[in-house]
Amino acid sequence: MSFVRWLVLALMAVVCLDVPGLAQAQEATATDAATAEAAKPLSKEEEYYQLMQVLADTFEQIERNYVKDVDRRKLAEAALRGMLEELDPYSNYISPEDLSKFTVQVEQEFGGIGIQVTVDDQSRRLMVTSPLPGTPAYKAGIRAGDIVMEIEGKSTEGITIDQAVKLLKGKPGETVKIGVLHQGASKVEELNVMRAIIHVSSVLGDAYKADDSWNFMYNADKKIGYIRLTSFSRDTTKELKAALEELKTQGMKALVLDLRFNPGGLLTAATEISDLFLEEGKIVSTKGRNVEEKVVTAKKAGTFSGFPLAILVNRYSASASEIVSAALQDHKRAVVVGERTWGKGSVQNVIELENGKSALKLTTASYHRPSGKNIHRFPNAKDEDEWGVMPDEGYSVPFSGDEMGKYLEHRRKKDIVTKDPVKSDFVDKQLAKAIDYIDAELAKPAAPPAPAEKPAEDKAAADASGAKK
């Protein structure tokens, strides 16, 4: 700036100070300018910075001035959960403490000895509800009803399930010392059980065979198979294919696929399983704000076809269960029996945080069934609205609350690995309805085979012969 320009500006400043009322006018002008600036819409970047500043200022004020000390991590995690609660019920923050549980749900694998446990009401100790076939606990002779009296020399009296899980789980190859009181015994047996990778199967049958493996053939005379899927994990497709191949070698003529109480799981598992029963056509499409629309279609290779298929669903069948049942229903490959499903039509991505120490499960897309009908049950949705997967006409079989409780008790008894015969007088009317459909389909006369088409060269020769005549 030149000396003259500097001098002019300085004189203007002096004059302004000396003129009565001018300072107030300048101040008013500045205020108006600030108000106008504040009224201008913020850019996305400015708004983002402003909101992050509010968050940081609030965090700092709580830490400095709150009446007592606050755990920083708890405060930050509470803020994360608060943000995600504003989105939808399926987006959530997975803390480092909960990440291992989440991984087990997806992978269906963990290091342990292979028992399902509960706390016995009478003894207030750990009771085995069932060992998992083939696991270290099973091989050690632990059976349903056994009481675990001690773990590593510590009494299990008053123990919680979470405490027990922490003591029993561990690195594969390490041993855990447990004291077990078998049913009918008076003396505690001490066992050193070596931990192993425990795989929890998501593909089950209706009952166990003599060797405690699942029997997938529900009716050996009619050759009707029965397979129950409890979730859609990484190994579900592989396990299901193995079960189907086993049934195929036994001459299976029809199948019941039970998806009741299946909360879902991996989208890839749902599409792969749908593809096992479909030769062509759309399985599902997904759409998101920041992802391109993706359409998954069926391939003919590896398809299990040529037999009647009934799918059992209920009000707790959700997500991946709805993808499979909707795809097979829309393509007329299966009849859907039971109750209207849960109504979850959204897809979540698991995003690693803190270099994999924690994670964010975030809804990033919605999925759509082949027919285009809506699956998602939005807030305030009514019964008459379109959502979930409805049973086919004539195949709606609702359970009352009492029937649901009896079914769960019936299922719990049949899922126990025990040498004693399972006794249950419960009649599963949903399964019975599925069997009725299959019986009717099997009773239909076989369709005549389509006439074989002549090879192109034969047709050409015939045409030429006709032309000569």
Q: Closest Cα partner for 178 from 196, 188, 191?
A: 191
The partner residues of 118 in beta bridges, in order of sequence, read 127
Neighbours of 335 (CB within 10 A): 21
Give dist(CA 394, CA 291) in Å, integer: 39
Q: One of 231, 330, 346, 358 is an active-site residue; which one?
A: 330
Judge whether 40 counts as a catalytic residue.
Answer: no
The partner residues of 366 in beta bridges, in order of sequence, read 287, 346
Judge whether 344 counts as a catalytic residue.
Answer: yes
Q: Token pair of 118, please?
A: 């509960």
Angle ∠(373,370,334) on CA atoms, nearest 5: 100
Q: One of 344, 358, 428, 433 is an active-site residue; which one?
A: 344
Long-range contacts of 344-352 (CB under 8 A, 24+ apart): 344/90, 344/264, 344/318, 344/319, 344/375, 344/376, 344/377, 345/374, 345/375, 345/376, 345/377, 345/387, 346/88, 346/90, 346/376, 347/267, 347/286, 347/288, 348/90, 348/91, 350/94, 350/102
Q: Closest Cα partner for 191 from 202, 170, 176?
A: 176
Q: Closest Cα partner for 302 from 283, 339, 276, 282?
A: 276
Q: One of 319, 325, 346, 358 is an active-site residue; which one?
A: 319
> Which segments of 154-291 does DSSP mark as H helices, in order?
161-168, 236-249, 267-277
Q: Closest Cα partner for 212 from 422, 424, 416, 423?
A: 416
- For the chain, the first-to-last Cα distance in angstroms comes to 109
Judge whether 330 counts as a catalytic residue.
Answer: yes
Neighbours of 114 (CB within 10 A): 25
Catalytic residues: 319, 330, 344
